[in-house]
Amino acid sequence: MEQLSNQAAITGQTQQNASAAASYYMQEQEKGLVDVQLEVDSIKTDIFHLIKQDVLETDKSGNVDWKPIKDPKQRILSDWGVDRIMQSVHFYVNKNVLLSNFSEDQIDRIMLRFVTELNDLVLLKYDMLFKKSSFEECKEIILERIEQKKKLKKFSNEILGIKFDSVKVNKELLEEIESHLEAEMDKIRQEQRKEKIRDYGLLMAQLEQMVYATLNRAWKGEERGSIRRHTTISELVGNTPKSQEKGGIFSWGRK
């Protein structure tokens, strides 16, 4: 009888240890789930690369990572512009927002404020917000235009049956542009800025959608409600029924 009692004690201790281990495991699993659910750094990272216009590329090993845009002239925002917009993003995309309790009207008002701030930023600081074409970029565009004019001149000479003198034509084109080279560069910068402003609308629409999706997760406290439900389920699964704690395989001995 004493031997059975000792075995029962050992078995009971083993069950308690197993229950404690299972409970700890469930707590760690639940903690990991909450961390993943409230993780917003990846969202902000995507937004950062989005407004920088980086592209996802796959390397030879199959790894996918963000890479800078191949043609810097296509970038819409300056480095200052990217940092300034990310300041706003950090304010609207964070754990506190996810764990809030917003009504539909509140979400609409927050989004209206967000969009208004972005528009005001463009209106008041567009000169700093948009990327300026560098001297090298303007030079490249001018050389491309000269090359295009040379091709047109060559084609024109071929139609008229005139021998094309590449050196002479190139000299004429350079002399033609020399007198107003600075004005031409300013003109190119203005043209490039207009192009960036046209693309800005689509970029901001994508940004607004990501912020709006984040705010909607806090609609009527759904995010924290979801976490609470997961926690309750984990507690129910992790708890050992009282009948097992009192019984076990030796419960027949108490009858």
- pLDDT bin (cut points 50, 70, 90) of residue 223 is low
Q: What per-residue confidence (pLDDT) applies to 31?
A: 45
Domain range spanning residue 91?
73-220
Q: What per-residue confidence (pLDDT) applies to 30?
A: 45
Q: What per-residue confidence (pLDDT) applies to 139?
A: 86
Q: Tell whether 93 is covered by a domain.
A: yes
Is residue 248 pLDDT above 50, yes or no?
no
Q: Tell whether 9 is covered by a domain.
A: no
Q: Tell whether 204 is covered by a domain.
A: yes
Q: What per-residue confidence (pLDDT) applies to 14?
A: 57
Q: Tell whether 102 is covered by a domain.
A: yes
Q: Tell whether 99 is covered by a domain.
A: yes
Q: Tell whether 7 is covered by a domain.
A: no
Q: Tell whether 11 is covered by a domain.
A: no
Give 111-163 pLDDT, tens digit per residue.
999 999 888 888 888 888 998 888 888 888 888 888 888 888 888 888 888 88
Instruction: Pick the more confident residue, 30 or 155.
Output: 155
pLDDT, average across residues 190-197: 85
Percent of the chain with pLDDT over 90: 9
Q: What per-residue confidence (pLDDT) applies to 81?
A: 92
In total, how many domains does the chain have? 1
Q: What per-residue confidence (pLDDT) applies to 109?
A: 93
Q: What is the DSSP string of the chain?
A: -HHHHHHHHHHHHHHHHHHHHHHHHHHHHHHHHHHHHT--HHHHHHHHHHHHT-EEEE-TTS-EEEE--S-GGG--B-HHHHHHHHHHHHHHSSHHHHTS-B-HHHHHHHHHHHHHHHHHHHHHHHHHHBPPPPHHHHHHHHHHHHHHHHHHHHHHHHHHTPPP-HHHHHHHHHHHHHTTHHHHHHHHHHHHHHHHHHHHHHHHHHHHHHHHHHHHTTBTTHHHHHHHHHHHHHHHHHSPPHHHHH-GGGGGGG-
Q: Which of 80-94, 155-169, 187-201 has the highest mean pLDDT?
A: 80-94
Give 54-81 pLDDT, tens digit per residue.
988 888 888 888 999 888 888 899 999 9
Q: Tell whether 207 is covered by a domain.
A: yes
